[in-house]
Structures are given as structure tokens and as C-alpha cells.
């Protein structure tokens, strides 16, 4: 009857410190495990280990250069840093004033992995015209409906 319940208050200082350290390490482990398991869908991460098998291909483009050839023609050079061929199907260009030009009937090039490709972007000149030294936002759309948007300064 006169027994007191043993709880946190009856632990020694060393036992309390050890419990706090153990719980902290356990919490960090659980958080890291959760981050490893929940990877973004675009990251290669654990693909094949605990992720999907076989690993899905990944599209990734980087723009290298942009040069104005005329008021309606810009040449860009891109690099496919992904793991699959990329089929470009349309592009959008916006000038610094956000005036858009869209070409949805464009039959763009196929870009193989780890390869540079030069692309001519032709616009009609009604919304705006290209000028050297001006920034443009270019969006390239692939056959997988991935959109790659770059803001570049045309030379």
C-alpha cells in the first residue's frame, strides 16, 4: 500500500541522460530513414534497392548557350544530362515583359543522353522580336510532358 510508483522521478541523473540520448538517437534515425525511403520522384535515389524496378528513365536538360541570329531566330545549345532520349515537341518563349510566344506544332530534335544539341527557335515576330543582350525565359516541352524552363541572356 505505501509503495510509490516508479517513474521518471526515481531515475538517477545518469539514467535520465542516457534515456534522453537514446531517444534523440532513435528520433534522428527514424527521420533519416524516412527521408531515404521518401525520395522525390525525380531523384535516382534507391531505385532498384527498395525503389521501383527496373529504374524508370529520367529526363534532364541543361541550356549551355543562346545566340540571336535575327529578330525572329535564336539558336540555343542544350545538353541532355538525363538517362533517356528526349523528344522535344513544343517550346514557349517569354521576353522580359512576359509577352509569350508558343509553338505547339513544333517538331523539335531528339536529344540523346550525354549529348549536346543545337536548336533553332523561330518566332513569328508578332508578340516580340529577339534582341542580343536581352533576357528570355524559354520552356522546352518533351513527349513525356516534362517542362524544362530556362532564363537566359541572349548574346
Q: Alpha-carbon distance 58 to 45, whole Å?
A: 12
Collect the ranges in the chain with pLDDT lower than 50: none
Q: What is the pLDDT of residues 29-67, one digit of tens each?
A: 998 887 777 665 555 555 655 655 667 788 999 999 999
Global model pTM greater than 0.75:
no
* Predicted pLDDT of residue 44: 54
CA nearest neighbour of 137 among 125, 126, 124, 147: 147
* Predicted pLDDT of residue 4: 60
Domain boundaries defined on the chain: 9-37, 61-153
Q: Alpha-carbon distance 115 to 17, whole Å?
A: 57
* Predicted pLDDT of residue 32: 84
Q: What is the CATH number of domain 61-153?
A: 2.60.40.1890
Amino acid at each position: 500500500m505505501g509503495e510509490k510508483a516508479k517513474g521518471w522521478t526515481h531515475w538517477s541523473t545518469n539514467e535520465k541522460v542516457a534515456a534522453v540520448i537514446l531517444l534523440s538517437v532513435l528520433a534522428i534515425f527514424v527521420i533519416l530513414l524516412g527521408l531515404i525511403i521518401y525520395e522525390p520522384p525525380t531523384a535516382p535515389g534507391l531505385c532498384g534497392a527498395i525503389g521501383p524496378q527496373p529504374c524508370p528513365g529520367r529526363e534532364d536538360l541543361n541550356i549551355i548557350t543562346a545566340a540571336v541570329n535575327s529578330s525572329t531566330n535564336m539558336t540555343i545549345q542544350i545538353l541532355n544530362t538525363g538517362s533517356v532520349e528526349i523528344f522535344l515537341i513544343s517550346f514557349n518563349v517569354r521576353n522580359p515583359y512576359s509577352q509569350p510566344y508558343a509553338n505547339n506544332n513544333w517538331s523539335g530534335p531528339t536529344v540523346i543522353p550525354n549529348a549536346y544539341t543545337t536548336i533553332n527557335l523561330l518566332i513569328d515576330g508578332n508578340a516580340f522580336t529577339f534582341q542580343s543582350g536581352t533576357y528570355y525565359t524559354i520552356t522546352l516541352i518533351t513527349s513525356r510532358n516534362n517542362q524544362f524552363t530556362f532564363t537566359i541572356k541572349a548574346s
